Chain A
Amino acid sequence: MRSRQASQGARRAREFEAFVAGAAGRLLHAATLLTAEAPGDNPRARRLLTLALAHTYASWNRLRGEDPYDRTRQYLATRFARDAWHRYGGLGRARPQPGSPLARLSPQERLILVLRLYEGVAEEQTAALLGLSTERVRAICNRATTTLLHPPRGPAPAVVGAKVAPS
């Protein structure tokens, strides 16, 4: 009995390691885009990813056929939304870092842009995940796309005071 449990545990550990090896690269890229850090220097993104993966690890036995990648991404997104709300809620924007292409967007715009375009999550799912309406998600996505493709002239923080909606 004990040996069977141990072998099952070892199998799960192997499965989880394979999952991390396969998914970490893409998830870390997504997290780095979210935090708008430079690809080579991304402590916040790493922390976010480690937390999300640790949560997936803790519930690995109770996934019951659910997609672990999906689960990790969900945790990553909601955690980032919550952190951004606490961090930037009343204090304006963080200093934009020049290394990221998304530096001039607000945290909420980055979150929606990354979920919609980088991860390819459907509009309805994004809306449900963040507690927004579908129209709002579409509007924010369009605005972010426009800001990204046609950067406003002048210094980068042109949208001071952009706030993240509570999720």
Chain B
Amino acid sequence: MSRPDREARVRQLLEQTPPPVPPDLHADVVRRGDRLVRRRTAARRMLWLLLFAASVAFLVWALTARPWVEPPSETTPPLTGW
């Protein structure tokens, strides 16, 4: 038996008895899909919020600590007997 022949027979075998589609499939899908969308939106919102909070925290820290200012020297010997 040649290959196209066998494939045709397998196709016939696969095509038998399609299962009945449940009537509430669309409602189920929409419910799940809406939940998925809501969850994705919430996750995105959380991430943006986190990013915003992190940048605010960094800004506040930078303005209070001023890491770019050269620290005052602590190694100069005291000036005595002058």
- A20 to chain B: closest residue by CB: B26
Contacts of B9 in A (CB 8 A): 149
Q: State the CA gap A42–B25 with chains docked (Å).
A: 13
**Which B residues are CB-close (under 8 A) to A32?**
19
Residue of B at shortest CB range from A56?
Answer: B33
Number of interface residues of A (CB under 8 A): 36
B residues within 8 A CB of A40?
Answer: 19-20
Contact A58 B40 (CB under 8 A): yes
B65 at the interface (CB under 8 A from A): no
Determine chain A's interface SS by DSSP, over half rule. helix
Q: B6 at the A/B interface (Cβ < 8 Å)?
A: yes
Task: Tell me whether A117 and B18 are in contact (CB under 8 A).
Answer: no
The stretch among A23-31, A63-71, A81-89, A156-164 that forms the contact with chain B is A23-31
Are the CB atoms of B33 and A53 closer together than 8 Å? yes
20 A-B residue pairs with CB within 8 Å: A20-B25, A21-B26, A24-B25, A25-B21, A29-B19, A32-B19, A33-B14, A39-B20, A40-B20, A46-B25, A49-B25, A51-B32, A53-B29, A53-B33, A58-B40, A101-B13, A101-B14, A102-B14, A117-B10, A149-B1
Q: Which chain A residues have a beta carbon within 8 Å of chain B's beta carbons? A: 13, 16-17, 20-21, 24-26, 28-29, 32-33, 39-40, 42, 45-46, 49-51, 53-58, 101-102, 113-114, 117-118, 145-146, 148-149
